[in-house]
C-alpha cells in the first residue's frame, strides 16, 4: 500500500454498524485494519451481532465504548444517536444482513443501528453477507436498488461456499476489499446533499465551544496609496464569516474582525470593521485574550507610504514610484503574544506546493494549525462558494475535498472543539 493510501484515513472517524452473522469475525479484523491506518472507529452492535461475538472484543480492538441500545439514558441525554451519525465521516455496515438492508431501504428505525442510518447526513457503505437465495431474492435486490439511489455504496458480496453449505454470491467481502472501498469513498465528499428546500444548520453537536472566546479575522485589507486609491486582493470574506457562524452555533463567544466586505455581519457575535492591516493588527491585540485565534483574513504583506493628496497623471511625467513598507505580521504576533490563545490557526492561500508551503508557514509563524488552500487560476476559492483545504498540524495532516464553505467551517470548528477537549489536549 502506497504512502498516500496509508494516510487516507488518518484522523477520519468511521462508524461501524455490525449486523448478526458468522461474518462478524471479519468485522473484528476490519476494526484493527482501520485503526492501523489512523482512523478512529466507533462500533454499534445489533442484538443479533451479540449472539456471535461479545461487545468486549470490539471494545478491546477499537479502544472505544460499544453502543448497543437506542434507549441509553447516558447517550440519549446528549441525543446520542444524532451525535454518532453526524460526527462520523462515513458509516460502514458490515456484515449487512438482508434484514438490515430491508429496514434501511424502507426507513424503519426501531433500534440504534437503523435509527443511525436514517438520521445520518453521511454516505453509507454496505458489505452484505447472507445466504445466496436471500441475496438473489427480488425483494433484496429491490432494497439494494433503493439504497443505491439514495447514495449508498456496496462492496461485495463475494461468491463462495456459505456457512449453510450452499455455494454462490453472498459471502461478505474480504477485509482488504472493504478497506479499499472505504478509502475510495473517503477520498470524495462523504456528506450527503441536503434535501431541496432545507438549509444547512451549522450546529455542532457534542464537544462544543460553550464558554470559549474565539477571535476570527476575515476578508481583505485595503492599503491606501493616496486618499482615493488603494491596494487590495480578491478575498470575499465568505470563509471567515462562515467560521464565525459555525463558532457561534457551537456556543462560543465570537469576535469577528473583518476587512471591507459586502457580506452581512454574522448574528450573535461582536463584529469590528477595519480597513488596513495596521488597523486589523491593533484590533486583534485589543480583542485578546482568547481561547482560539483563527486568522482567515487575506492581510496585505506590504503597504505604500501614503501620499497626502491624490496622485495625478501629469502630461509627459513618468509613472509614479511607490515605496513599500512591511505590514504587521498578525499571525506571528498572536502566536508569540503573552496572551497567546490555546489554539492559533492560520490560513495559507497558495498557488503551488500547498502542503510544503503550509508546513513552512506553520513553523515560521509558530502556530498550531495551518489551513492551506489553492487560490491559483481556476480554483475559484477567492470569491467563490466552495473551498478545498489541507489541514496541517504538527502531528498530522488532513486533506479535505472540495465542499461548501459553510460545511468546511463546521468541520473545522468540530476539529477545534476536539483539540480543545481534555483528550485532544493530550494528543
User: Which ranges in 120-264 belong to alpha helices (H)?
Assistant: 132-136, 138-149, 175-186, 238-249
215 by Cβ neighbours in 10 Å (0-12 / 13-18 / 19+) ranks as buried
Please state, in angstroms and rounded to a whole number, the distance separating the CA atoms of residues 189 and 207.
23
Candidates 164, 186, 201, 367; catalytic one: 164
Please state, in angstroms and rounded to a whole number, the distance separating the CA atoms of residues 198 and 28.
38
Cβ–Cβ under 8 Å, residues 364 and 353: no
10 by Cβ neighbours in 10 Å (0-12 / 13-18 / 19+) ranks as middle
The residues, ordered by sequence, that sit 6+ positions from 200 with a Cβ below 8 Å of its Cβ are 194, 404, 406, 407, 410
Mode of pairing for the β-strands spanning 397-404 and 386-393: antiparallel
What are residue 91's DSSP bridge partners?
A: 15, 124
Q: At 288, phi and psi to the nearest 5? A: -70, 155
Task: DSSP letter for 49, please.
Answer: G
Active site residue 367: no
> Given the C-alpha cell 468511521, which residue does it identify?
14
Cβ–Cβ under 8 Å, residues 244 and 405: no
Cβ–Cβ under 8 Å, residues 230 and 286: no
Cβ–Cβ under 8 Å, residues 342 and 420: yes
**What is the four-CA torsion angle of 66, 393, 287, 298, rounded to 10 degrees?**
-130
CA angle 153, 69, 206 (to 5 degrees): 75
Catalytically annotated residues: 164
Amino acid at each position: 500500500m502506497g504512502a498516500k493510501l496509508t494516510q487516507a484515513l488518518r484522523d477520519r472517524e468511521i462508524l461501524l454498524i455490525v449486523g448478526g452473522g458468522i461474518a462478524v469475525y471479519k468485522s473484528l479484523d476490519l476494526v484493527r485494519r482501520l485503526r492501523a491506518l489512523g482512523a478512529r472507529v466507533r462500533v454499534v452492535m445489533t442484538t443479533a451481532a451479540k449472539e456471535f461475538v461479545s461487545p468486549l472484543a470490539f471494545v478491546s480492538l477499537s479502544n472505544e465504548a460499544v453502543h448497543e441500545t437506542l434507549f441509553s439514558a447516558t447517550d440519549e441525554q446528549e441525543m446520542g444517536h444524532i451525535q454518532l451519525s453526524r460526527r462520523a465521516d462515513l458509516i460502514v455496515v458490515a456484515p449487512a444482513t438482508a434484514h438490515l438492508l430491508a429496514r434501511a431501504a424502507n426507513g424503519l428505525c426501531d433500534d440504534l443501528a437503523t435509527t443511525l442510518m436514517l438520521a445520518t447526513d453521511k454516505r453509507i457503505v454496505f458489505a452484505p453477507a447472507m445466504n445466496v437465495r436471500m441475496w438473489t431474492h427480488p425483494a433484496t435486490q429491490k432494497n439494494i436498488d433503493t439504497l443505491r439511489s439514495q447514495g449508498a455504496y456496496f462492496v461485495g458480496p463475494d461468491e463462495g461456499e456459505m456457512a449453510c453449505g450452499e455455494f454462490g454470491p453472498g459471502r461478505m467481502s474480504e477485509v482488504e476489499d472493504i478497506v479499499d472501498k472505504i478509502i475510495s469513498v473517503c477520498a470524495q465528499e462523504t456528506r450527503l446533499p441536503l434535501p431541496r428546500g432545507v438549509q444547512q444548520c451549522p450546529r455542532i453537536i457534542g464537544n462544543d465551544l460553550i464558554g470559549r472566546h474565539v477571535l476570527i479575522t476575515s476578508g481583505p485589507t485595503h492599503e491606501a496609496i493616496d486618499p482615493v486609491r488603494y491596494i487590495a486582493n480578491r478575498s470575499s470574506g465568505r470563509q471567515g464569516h462562515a467560521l464565525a457562524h459555525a463558532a457561534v452555533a457551537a456556543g462560543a463567544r465570537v469576535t469577528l474582525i473583518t476587512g471591507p466586505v459586502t457580506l452581512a455581519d454574522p448574528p450573535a457575535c461582536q463584529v469590528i470593521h477595519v480597513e488596513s492591516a495596521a488597523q486589523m493588527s491593533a484590533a486583534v491585540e485589543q480583542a485578546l485574550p482568547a481561547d482560539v485565534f483563527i486568522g482567515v483574513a487575506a492581510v496585505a504583506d506590504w503597504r505604500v507610504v501614503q501620499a497626502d493628496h491624490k496622485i495625478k497623471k501629469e502630461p509627459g511625467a513618468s509613472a509614479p514610484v511607490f515605496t513599500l513598507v512591511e505590514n504587521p505580521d498578525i499571525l506571528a504576533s498572536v502566536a508569540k503574544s503573552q496572551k497567546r490563545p490555546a489554539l492559533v490557526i492560520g490560513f495559507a492561500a497558495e498557488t503551488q506546493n500547498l502542503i510544503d508551503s503550509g508546513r513552512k508557514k506553520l513553523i515560521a509563524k509558530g502556530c498550531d494549525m495551518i489551513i492551506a488552500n489553492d487560490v491559483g487560476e481556476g480554483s475559484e476559492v477567492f470569491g467563490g462558494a466552495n473551498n478545498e483545504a489541507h489541514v496541517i498540524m504538527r502531528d498530522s495532516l488532513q486533506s479535505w475535498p472540495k465542499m461548501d464553505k459553510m460545511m468546511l467551517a463546521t468541520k473545522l470548528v468540530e476539529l477545534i472543539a476536539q483539540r480543545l477537549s481534555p483528550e485532544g489536549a493530550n494528543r
